[in-house]
Amino acid sequence: MLKLSSKSATAWRALQRQCAAGMATAAPRIGDTKVSMSPLEPNAYINYQRIEDNLAVVRDRLQRPLTLSEKIVYGHLDNPHEQEIVRGTSYLKLRPDRVACQDATAQMALLQFMSAGMDTAAVPTTVHCDHLIQAQVGGVKDLARAININREVYDFLATATAKYGLGFWKPGSGIIHQIVLENYAFPGGMMIGTDSHTPNAGGLGMVACGVGGADAVDVMAGIPWELKCPKVIGVKLTGKIGGWTTPKDVILKVAGILTVKGGTGAIVEYFGPGVESLSCTGMATICNMGAEIGATTSLFPYNHRMADYLKATKRADIAAYANSFAHNLQADAGAEYDQVIEINLNELEPHINGPFTPDLATPISKLAEEAKKNDWPDDIRVGLIGSCTNSSYEDMTRSASIVKQAADHGLGFKSKFTVTPGSEQVRATIARDGQVEAFETAGGIVLANACGPCIGQWDRQDTKKGEKNTIVTSYNRNFTGRNDANPATHAFVASPDLTTALAFAGRLSFNPLTDSLVGADGKEFKFDAPNGYELPPRGYDPGENTFQAPPADRASVQVAVDPKSDRLQLLKPFKPWDGKTPEDIPVLIKVKGKCTTDHISAGGPWLKYRGHLENISQNCLIGAINIENNEANKIKNQITGEYGGVPQVGAYYRDRGIKWVVIGDHNYGEGSSREHAALEPRFLGGLAIITRSFARIHETNLKKQGMLALTFADPADYDKVQPSDKVSILGLETFSPGKNLTLRLKHEDGTSEDISLAHSFNEGQIEWFKAGSALNLMAAKGSKA
């Protein structure tokens, strides 16, 4: 537990006096006021009273000031009286306010929920169709094509949400995180979502965490959500943002400081006077990309910029309610953080991160030098703005201001340029206000309101696979091959402002702060710093209504699943642990280096199989590099001696009753929350994933599916495992929290050695393993009830 400094102790005593004075005046209960969480859910109310009551218990127990994230997290405890609360150690049982699912992950989440035997979700839940729309020629045609191709999946989602009482956002509505920000996020709330960028809602002061579908099913079924008590990293912002520097540059800088794993197991909490210079949607951008540093979530304290956004999105009643609860929507004076980073916004330069990883941060003033030194292609083939990270009205108007400056000098885009509106509301508003016309006149293409190229849904035709090239995006993630499936594409992440300016220059070495372009008249000019509107002066245009509320009569609704479908497949329970020590089983693959969820379960064309476990398992680990031969999807079958694809060899072992393990490197499973990366190895007969370290969401997903997620007690022991080894895992008969297991290696030369394996399983998670999955355990308990 944190040791209280003298400064914090003084602050704590002052806080106690303040609370005592408040109690003496017998103030009305905050819960006496009833405010709906969303205009779309008039009968689901914000529960500030629970936070107030829980914190009274927690404050009395901890006797110290609390950070904002602690207030919200502990305010949602299932049992504040008995819950152990130690940052970085305890497993908390929490009661989130809501669940959100995107269409690619919702399929499996709903299939699992159907297996649980419930008839209604216990908390408000929504499903959003944003992942299955491929960017090809433009918004209208791409959307029509997607609706036709994915009709079967959309029908399943529409009928399943109607059957179980969930809200359904049809294709074309927009990206899940923008829809949530516009309609559902609220200060002090807690939400889980089946997408790693769910923390976007932290821009409205909400603790919003990305999870796998099995976690979502727990909450939908009324079971407390389990989360290891997060550490808290504080980021103090001073100064004032302005000029070419944007909120995106804050998180690009933080990513460079913390790296892709520096936020693992922690909530990143922003505070300080610099916060006041950020818009609500700018704060959401920062929180969104916190997923790239492995953070549990990120959030900002409630302020007037959030209130303005709530009012602009027709939620003035929530703003007023939050104003009355503001004392619990900011950190206590003297609250202590596990780590503090300070960033002076006056001195912060625009950054561009990449290629191939979102934490390689380069200030714009150093970019030309770094590009030349590292042989990054200078010619920019495509600039892409939008996505769930940067598609707000403010983002679009700032980019449009740069387009207007170029147009005034007779210039169009030199690189190809695409715009992805984050929601139908934003699209309709920028169409009304002229930004769409400006983009298209300059040569840009406005894509559908969907994820598109950000997640690999991009039918890119201007380069061949293997051709070295550069693209610049305002997205969040730039792993190898993520956007276009071309491992030679150098993808860089920047603000929409920088991306737009670079697309006019067509060169990575161009610095819009210092360099000039030549206009159509032959004269040089420099861009002025962009400007835009935080919120639309004429208000938002809602555009087309794409929301489907659950019907009043749900009993007659039939969920659409064709038994012959190659896209949807009802689930069969995994087998429970047989109680035996796994002995002399093969290493399926020893993975070399970075292995993200994109490597484990590729996106792009594979997204169509997200509801069919058998079919999508054919992509299991096909992107991982085999340390034996430095090749992807080519491993040795230890029984036949022949080489084959990873899924094929895994299935060969499974069909002969042979369990297997995967050996992985650091931060294994970073990236997306997709639980398919855990479901697939489980389906193919895997027993354990053994790594130097895990990304948080993936480790939890493996446990939920009944797999052993184990780490080398000494990370250097990774080097001792040979791809040809036969391994045994000793100690499962006495598997218990905090007690290491033993990995016995039998090498081809006849020698053997034992190494120690650590794990983070608690008692409940061990029961998941024994039962075969968390869903199996839930069903077993339900049958006994």
Nearest to 229 by CA among 336, 331, 93: 93
Q: Can you give the CATH number for the domain in which 474 is found?
A: 3.30.499.10
Q: Is the pLDDT of residue 509 over 70?
A: yes
- Is the pLDDT confidence value at 314 over 70? yes
Structural domain ending residue among the three candidates 493, 518, 543: 518
Check if 76 is active-site: no
195 is catalytic: yes
Band of residue 24 on the pLDDT scale cut at 50, 70, 90 = very low
Find out whether 139 and 525 touch, Cβ atoms under 8 Å: no
- Whether residue 769 has pLDDT greater than 50: yes
Same domain flag for 514 and 375: yes
Q: Among residues of the chain, what percentage have pLDDT more than 70?
A: 96
Backbone phi, then psi, for 438, in 5-degree steps? Answer: -65, -45
Question: The tokens of 202 are what?
Answer: 């932290």
What 8-state DSSP symbol labels residue 329? S
Q: What is the pLDDT of residues 448-459, one digit of tens each?
A: 999 999 999 999
Domain around 380: 351-518
How many domains would you assign to the chain?
A: 3
Q: How many CB atoms lie within 10 A of CB 292?
A: 29
Residue 27 lies inside a defined structural domain of this protein: no
pLDDT tens-digit profile of 688-746?
999 999 998 899 999 999 999 999 999 999 999 999 999 999 999 999 999 999 999 99
Mean pLDDT throughout 663-681? 93
One domain for residues 289 and 359: no
Q: Of the listed 672, 673, 760, 773, which one is catalytic?
A: 672
Whether residue 2 has pLDDT greater than 60: no
Tens of pLDDT, residues 325-341: 999 999 999 999 999 99
pLDDT of 15 over the 70 cut: no
Reference 194, options 218, 172, 171; nearest CA is 218
Q: Looking at the structure, tell me whether residues 317 and 386 fall in a common domain.
A: no
pLDDT grade, residue 18 (50/70/90)? low
Instruction: Give residue 19's pLDDT band: very low, low, confident or very high (50, 70, 90).
Output: low
Residue 401 shares a structural domain with residue 334 = no
C-alpha 81 chain-centroid distance: 31
Can 698 be counted among the known catalytic residues? no
Question: Does residue 370 share a domain with residue 305?
Answer: no
Q: Are strands 190-193 and 625-626 parallel, antiparallel or unpaired?
A: unpaired
Does residue 23 have a pLDDT over 60? no
Please state, in angstroms and rounded to a whole number, the distance separating the CA atoms of residues 422 and 285.
12
**pLDDT tens per residue, range 66-80:** 999 999 999 999 999
DSSP annotation of 451 reads -
For residues 418-429, average pLDDT? 97
Asked whether residue 549 is domain-assigned, the answer is no
Among residues 221, 180, 189, 204, the alpha carbon closest in space to that of 40 is found at: 180
Biggest distance spanned by C-alpha atoms of the chain: 81
Q: Which of 483, 518, 553 is the last residue of a domain?
A: 518
338, 422: one domain: no
Does residue 381 belong to any structural domain of this protein?
yes
16 in a domain, yes or no? no
Report residue 28's pLDDT band, with 50, 70 and 90 as the boundaries: confident
Which one of the listed residues 674, 676, 692, 698 is annotated catalytic? 674
* DSSP 8-state secondary structure symbol assigned to residue 690: E
For residue 115, what pLDDT is reported? Answer: 81
CA 681 to chain centre: 21
Residue indicated by tokens 């053997």: 752
Say which of 97, 130, 484, 497 is annotated catalytic: 130
Task: State whether 357 and 328 are in the same domain.
Answer: no
559 domain-assigned: no
Q: Report CA torsion sign: 456, 460, 464, 470.
A: negative
> What is the spatial distance between Cα 135 and Cα 683, in angstroms, rounded to a whole number?
31
Residue 538 CA to residue 298 CA, distance in Å, equals 31
Residues 429, 458, single domain; the answer is: yes
Same domain, 172 and 309: yes
Q: What is the mean pLDDT of residues 462-480?
A: 96
- For residue range 267-293, list pLDDT tens digits in order: 999 999 999 999 999 999 999 999 999
**pLDDT, the chain, mean:** 95
Enter the DSSP assignment of 379.
Answer: B
Say how many C-beta atoms besides its own lie within 10 A of residue 523's C-beta. 10
Q: By CB neighbour count within 10 A (0-12 exposed, 13-18 middle, 19+ buried), where does 105 fall?
A: buried
User: Residue 21: its pLDDT value, please?
Assistant: 47
HSE-up (13 A, CA, CB side) for residue 259: 5
The helix/strand/coil state of 357 is coil
Res 248: pLDDT: 98
Give the whole-angstrom CA distance, residue 463 versus residue 74: 50
Establish if 51 belongs to a structural domain.
Answer: no
Average pLDDT for 123-152: 96
pLDDT at 4 > cutoff 90: no
DSSP 620: B
What's the pLDDT at 213? 87
Annotated catalytic residue within 477, 482, 696, 698 = 477
Domain boundary among 518, 536, 553: 518
From the list 131, 482, 676, 759, the catalytic residue is 131
- Among the listed residues 195, 359, 598, 665, the single catalytic one is 195
How long, in residues, is the chain?
Answer: 785
Which CATH number is 773's domain given?
Answer: 3.20.19.10
Catalytic-residue membership of 484 = no
pLDDT digits (tens, 9 = 90+) for 548-574: 999 999 999 999 899 899 999 999 999
Residue 130 catalytic?
yes
Annotated active-site residue 692? The verdict is no
Q: Residue 91 domain-assigned? A: yes
Residue 54 domain-assigned?
A: no
pLDDT for residue 427 is more than 50: yes
Question: Do 218 and 290 sit in the same domain of this protein?
Answer: yes
Do residues 330 and 359 share a domain?
no
Q: Is the pLDDT of residue 1 over 90?
A: no
Task: Indicate whether 483 and 507 sit together in one domain.
Answer: yes
What pLDDT sits at residue 7?
59
